[in-house]
């Protein structure tokens, strides 16, 4: 059943959403659809579908989000980045989303592409401009990104929070965080943004780290710090893939349980097209996340 995420977030019972990413080429399309089918069977509150940084996979994002919502009956959230596209190109994607009855969009700037002059005329500079633009199209529930440890481009966290406040005031309904591995960083961020008057729902983004080799790249991209407790897990299990997977799932589960115990009821899991990881987390939470919303 289609639904606006801002309404789902009014539900006070704990619930989980998952994220998948579209294939880079058409060849990978079926395997992503199959992962989406398995993750949808877990009845998450919604599934988000990321958007290729260069805009090249936009069609896949729209098609996969449409499959999740219109064929599988699970609310979908389509990511949309604007940094590598003209305003006309972005407007075309918004029209496609409308035509497929997708009601939820995560409005993002995307990483600035190297080597290009930025922004070119008729391009967006910040996500806040995209939020304003989507808002004028009407009918969408709009989410945005936020960074508990600060966005890598902004030197001072307080400036980042000031920019976030402006983005929220442009019309966001909720924000989802970059991954973090120490819940205290999230609690501190929440305190600081509430103090600045950002009162919309904040969904913590939890990334189960199940592969030590991919971890370095993930951490570099996200800028997230690794607590000593997780470093010990990596030292002990990093060379044993199955043990690392089990430990990574347990660590993510532990973060989620702590968040729920502290009153955070909506948690977004970066499940990375891996249904077995989403399934293991839901199994671990079977007595905690009982209420499937739909």
Provide the annotated active-site residues: 19
Question: What is the side-by-side strand order in the sheet with 174-177?
Answer: 202-203, 174-177, 141-146, 104-108, 76-81, 47-49, 15-20, 266-269, 205-206
User: Would you give the DSSP letter of residue 196?
Assistant: T
Q: Which is nearer to ligand FAD, 53 or 293 (CB)?
A: 53
Residues 35-64 that bind ligand FAD (CB under 6 A): 50-51, 53
Out of 15, 67, 109, 245, the only residue in the binding site for ligand FAD (CB under 6 A) is 109
Q: Could you tell me how many residues of this chain bind ligand FAD (CB under 6 A)?
A: 23
Stretch that binds ligand FAD, among 124-132, 233-241, 252-260, 281-289 (CB under 6 A): 124-132
Report how far apart, in Å, the C-alpha atoms of 228 and of each of 77, 178, 223, 235, 253 are.
34, 20, 16, 10, 17
| Interaction between residue 110 and ligand FAD (CB under 6 A) | yes
Q: φ, ψ for residue 76 (rounded to 5)?
A: -120, 155
How far is Cα 70 from Cα 231, in angstroms, rounded to an integer?
A: 42
How far is Cα 188 from Cα 129, in angstroms, rounded to an integer?
A: 27
Residue 176's beta-bridge partner residues?
Answer: 145, 203
Q: Which is nearer to ligand FAD, 50 or 60 (CB)?
A: 50
Which x/- pattern over 135-174 shows residues binding ligand FAD (rule: CB under 6 A)? ----------x-----x-xx-----x--x--xx-------
List contacts with ligand FAD (CB under 6 A): 50-51, 53, 79, 81, 108-111, 126-128, 145, 151, 153-154, 160, 163, 166-167, 176, 178, 205
């Amino acid at each position: 059943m289609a639904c606006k995420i801002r309404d789902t977030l009014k539900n006070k019972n704990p619930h989980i959403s998952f994220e998948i990413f579209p294939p880079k080429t058409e060849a990978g399309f079926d395997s992503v659809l199959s992962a989406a089918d398995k993750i949808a069977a877990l009845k998450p509150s919604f599934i988000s579908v990321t958007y290729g940084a260069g805009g090249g996979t936009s069609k896949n994002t729209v098609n996969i989000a449409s499959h999740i919502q219109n064929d599988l009956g699970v609310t979908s959230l389509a990511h949309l980045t604007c940094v590598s596209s003209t305003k006309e190109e972005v407007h075309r994607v918004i029209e496609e989303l409308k035509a497929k009855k997708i009601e939820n969009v995560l409005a993002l700037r995307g990483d600035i592409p190297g080597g290009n002059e930025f922004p070119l005329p008729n391009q967006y500079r910040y996500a806040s401009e995209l939020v304003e633009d989507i808002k004028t199209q009407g009918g969408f529930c709009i989410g945005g990104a936020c960074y508990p440890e600060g966005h890598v481009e902004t030197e001072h966290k307080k400036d980042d929070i000031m920019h976030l406040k402006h983005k929220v005031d442009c019309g966001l309904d909720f924000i989802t965080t970059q991954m973090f591995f120490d819940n205290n960083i999230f609690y501190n961020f929440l305190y600081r943004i509430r103090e600045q008057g950002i009162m919309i729902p904040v969904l913590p983004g939890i990334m189960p780290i199940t592969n030590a080799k991919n971890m370095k790249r993930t951490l570099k991209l996200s800028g997230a710090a690794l607590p000593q407790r997780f470093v010990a897990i990596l030292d002990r299990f990093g060379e044993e893939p199955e043990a690392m997977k089990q430990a990574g799932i347990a660590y993510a589960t532990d973060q989620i349980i702590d968040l729920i115990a502290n009153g955070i009821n909506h948690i977004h899991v970066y499940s990375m097209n891996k249904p077995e990881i989403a399934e293991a987390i839901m199994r671990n939470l079977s007595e905690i996340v009982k209420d499937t919303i739909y």
